[in-house]
Structure 1
Amino acid sequence: MQISLLIQQTGPAGIWSPSAEACARLAVSEINRQSGILRQHVELVVEDAGTTDADARAAARRAIRNGAQGIVGMLPSYARHAVAASTFNVVPFIYTPQYEGIAPEAQTITTGETAEELLAPGLRWLSDHRNARRYFLCGSDYVWPRTSLSIARSMIPRVGGEVVGEAYMPVGTDDYDSLIARIKRAKPDVVLPYFLGGDGIAFNRAFHEAGLCPHVLRFTSAIDETIVYGLPPEATENLFVSSGYFASVRSHNNGAFLERYHTAYGDAPPPVNSFGQSCYEGIYSLASLVERAEVFDARAIHRLAGRIQQQRTARGSKSKAVVGGRHPIFLARLDGYDFKLLAV
């Protein structure tokens, strides 16, 4: 049987494609060693979802036409609807990355964290421990950053803060001079940057080059190990990140996962990160749902979402986790390239 992994291999989100594919292939190889899905060998086919919703729609249709019985997608929210419309009542669709918390598409099974879950611990911590009061919101101009920062705007007054500025930039832009100037004029205590993939590298480089890192805090869930490795270490000063997964988390599940990952790919594989690891979980989530449903049927599988246990995860401290259930959220401070976990 065939499962398709839909990921963007080009554009700003393409930065995550090597780790996403590596994690998904690891999951499939483990499942095949455990007798496959419904005792059938699993073949993983990676489809490039392109950079637009039309590209993603074409990729989903191509995957189904070529025999995919299930689709796992790690792609921006603006492409989710196109894939969901193509898979509806045809094949199950697992959507794996963090997202804004609103996925109205029928039969879309989400496994990632929501914006509210990711924002809450960081906003509280910055208020309590850094006396943060003035916030500037900025990000890429599409649904995930806009909706996530709209949620942040409603949460900030609850921790005693105020929003002093907000701005959005086109996906793929490389000129942040005007945005940096607006941030300087607003004099925030904290900037919340929500840029897509490689755009996060470009913005944070510009932020560093403007000399803002020592003076202005940054907090986001849109940065991971892959993006941080694209920055000079000085650019991570005063940078705080929330996530449901960090490679630095010490737990039985993560230690075992990292051992298997490095055994499979050696000492210099694509960096493990939350977006890539989500594909590992997505494959296992789909496998668990199919095993319980005893059939690759979109409607039968959708009815089971949130009610069964997946077979393996890199997150949490238990051996199993409920598909659609909630994992702990971690808050980390960057120290060079190291994510130092904070108590929240």
Structure 2
Amino acid sequence: MDYGVNLQARLIEPLDALYAPGDAAAFRLCLVVPQSGALGLIGPSALDAAVLAAHEINAAGGIAAGPGGLGTAARARRAEGPADARPAGSGRGARRGRVRADPCAEHRMDLVDGGRAPAAVAAQVAGLVGAGAVDAVAGFHSSDVHRAVEAVVSGRVPYVFTPPHEGGARLPGVACTGVGPGEQLTEAIGFLTERHQVRRWALVGNDYIWPRAVHRAARDAAAGCHARVVLEHRVPLGQVDRALGRLVEELRAHRVQAVLVSLIGRDLVAFNRGLRHSGLDRRLVRLSGALEENGLLACGGDDTGGLYSCMDSFASLADDRALALTERHRALLGPTAPVLDSYARGLYDGVHLVAALAAGRALRADAALPAAVRRLLAARGPGPREAWRAAPQGPPRAALHLARADGPDLRVVTSFRPGGP
């Protein structure tokens, strides 16, 4: 993977992370990003964003911290050398200890393919954590993978999960930076119900944790704006092509006017292509909480005026922060690099957040992590602001936007203030 001679970031394959000699002083982030499966088509964009963030951190001098700030047990074990050379008492029982770290550390990333089956992803992450090869975990991946990873890292290393999520409690040492389903979609459903005068909604999604939570929130949102859900259909990941005929028939039979689509990645692309082939794309209002620019390009674009997405960022946003990030991405990785979509921008901020947590001596694998994340994202006071010193534009701004497909682009129609149900 050639990112140019000026790139100050390293991606390490899992086998290399386990067996190749490593720099004990480096800070190692386990990056869990889909490179295969339903979300594989948008993985390259997220990977670019993570590489850009790591480059910026290292170009600014690395991850800075005071005494103890980066003193994870994993770094202590790497400094001790192979297990058979360590003194008694320095093994697994000592994992949660904290040691003095160097003031700055190079930021490196160990890449795990988050597009595989949840058990396979979790097993690989657990192997890296158990070997002391990584200091923290961050990534974007589906919620079933997220829950599997959460179970094997909780209390061992910090874990930051960046995309929209299903809500609910998390295990100690796990923090989510995305929005829950009610917050993401309630106002968007109300806006479209009123704008297009629709009353009959359908819910079509994949059959796993996040779409189920989305559908529960959507039923409440529809009822709140005097609409109703007349059809719900969930499809196993990767099976939309087989289910398309039946889906189209049911949408027609139930006289559906609008569809909340909680399919992801390639399944979302297949559904929108199927609607185009059937002609229903010009009759139905469609809203997605997962459609981004790379997926829209894979659909061939859309000019119906009825395809919408609600996310926290879009490439078409013209604010200073979005434009500057796009410019830095192109300058580093070239004009042919994938569009930095919402998932990618969330992961970019997540990688910088991990560095900021370390700089603020708040990178912990316990129940204190979510509160530390909230303080840093609020960035009030000199301490939190200084922790973001390696991020060119500081912490992300909380926002939600509703965008409509316009050919290959997603154009923002209106924006909402986060903080809904």
TM-score (norm: length of structure 1): 0.92
Task: Report what 2:6 is aligned to.
Answer: none
Task: Report what 2:9 is aligned to.
Answer: none
| Alignment partners' CA distance in 2, 1:102 and 1:91 | 20
Task: Report what 1:272 is aligned to.
Answer: 340
Larger radius of gyration: 2
Q: Percent of counterpart pairs with the same letter?
A: 28
Task: Report what 1:70 is aligned to.
Answer: 136
Of the three residues 271, 288, 291, the one matched with 1:223 is: 291
1:45 maps onto 2:110 in alignment = yes
1:146 maps onto 2:222 in alignment = no
Q: Is the 8 A contact 2:164 2:178 kept in 1?
A: yes
Task: Report what 1:338 is aligned to.
Answer: 409
Task: Report what 2:35 is aligned to.
Answer: 9
Of the three residues 378, 388, 395, the one matched with 1:321 is: 395
The number of residues matched between the two structures is: 337
Equivalent positions of 1:287-302 (< 5 A) are 287-293=355-361, 296-299=363-366, 301-302=369-370
Task: Report what 2:94 is aligned to.
Answer: none
Q: Is the 8 A contact 1:164 1:188 kept in 2?
A: yes
Task: Report what 1:88 is aligned to.
Answer: 154
Q: Is the 8 A contact 2:157 2:173 kept in 1?
A: no
Residues 200-254 of structure 1, C-alpha deviation per residue, up to 9 Å, x if partnerless?
0011111111100111110111111111001133475410111101011111111
CA shift in 2, pair 1:62/1:28, >3 Å: same
Q: Is the 8 A contact 2:204 2:232 kept in 1?
A: yes
CA shift, 1:321, in A, is 3.3
| Alignment partners' CA distance in 1, 2:370 and 2:164 | 19
Q: Is the 8 A contact 1:140 1:195 kept in 2?
A: yes
Partner-residue secondary structure (3-state), 2:168: coil
Task: Report what 1:201 is aligned to.
Answer: 269
Task: Report what 1:252 is aligned to.
Answer: 320
CA shift, 1:72, in A, is 0.5
Task: Report what 2:278 is aligned to.
Answer: 210
CA shift, 1:118, in A, is 1.5
| Alignment partners' CA distance in 2, 1:275 and 1:63 | 24
Q: Is the 8 A contact 1:280 1:313 kept in 2?
A: no
Q: Is the 8 A contact 1:208 1:234 kept in 2?
A: no
Of the three residues 122, 144, 157, the one matched with 2:223 is: 157
| Alignment partners' CA distance in 1, 2:389 and 2:300 | 35
| Alignment partners' CA distance in 2, 1:177 and 1:230 | 21
CA shift in 2, pair 1:126/1:202, >3 Å: same
CA shift, 1:319, in A, is 4.4
CA shift in 2, pair 1:119/1:313, >3 Å: farther
User: What 5-or-longer segments of structure 2 have no aligned partner?
Assistant: 1-26, 65-103, 380-386, 416-421
Task: Report what 1:133 is aligned to.
Answer: 199
Task: Report what 2:93 is aligned to.
Answer: none
| Alignment partners' CA distance in 2, 1:63 and 1:248 | 38
CA shift, 1:272, in A, is 1.3
CA shift, 1:313, in A, is 11
| Alignment partners' CA distance in 1, 2:38 and 2:171 | 24
Residues 67-104 of structure 1, C-alpha deviation per residue, up to 9 Å, x if partnerless?
11011021100111221121112111000111122243
CA shift in 2, pair 1:304/1:184, >3 Å: same
Equivalent positions of 1:97-112 (< 5 A) are 97-112=163-178
Q: Is the 8 A contact 1:89 1:298 kept in 2?
A: yes
Task: Report what 1:243 is aligned to.
Answer: 311
Q: Is the 8 A contact 2:302 2:406 kept in 1?
A: no
Q: Is the 8 A contact 2:303 2:406 kept in 1?
A: no
Residues 126-165 of structure 1, C-alpha deviation per residue, up to 9 Å, x if partnerless?
1221112110001001010111111101110111101111
Partner-residue secondary structure (3-state), 1:270: coil
Question: In structure 1, what residue type is equivalent to 2:395?
Answer: A
- Structure 1 residues 200-209 or 296-305, which shifts more? 296-305
Residues 243-274 of structure 1, C-alpha deviation per residue, up to 9 Å, x if partnerless?
10101111111111011000011111012101
- Structure 1 residues 88-97 or 297-306, which shifts more? 297-306
CA shift, 1:340, in A, is 1.7
| Alignment partners' CA distance in 2, 1:51 and 1:232 | 26
Residues 169-203 of structure 1, C-alpha deviation per residue, up to 9 Å, x if partnerless?
11001221111111111111101111121110011
Of the three residues 384, 388, 409, the one matched with 1:311 is: 388
User: What 5-or-longer segments of structure 1 have no aligned partner?
Assistant: none
Q: Is the 8 A contact 1:313 1:321 kept in 2?
A: no
CA shift, 1:8, in A, is 2.0
| Alignment partners' CA distance in 1, 2:189 and 2:324 | 32
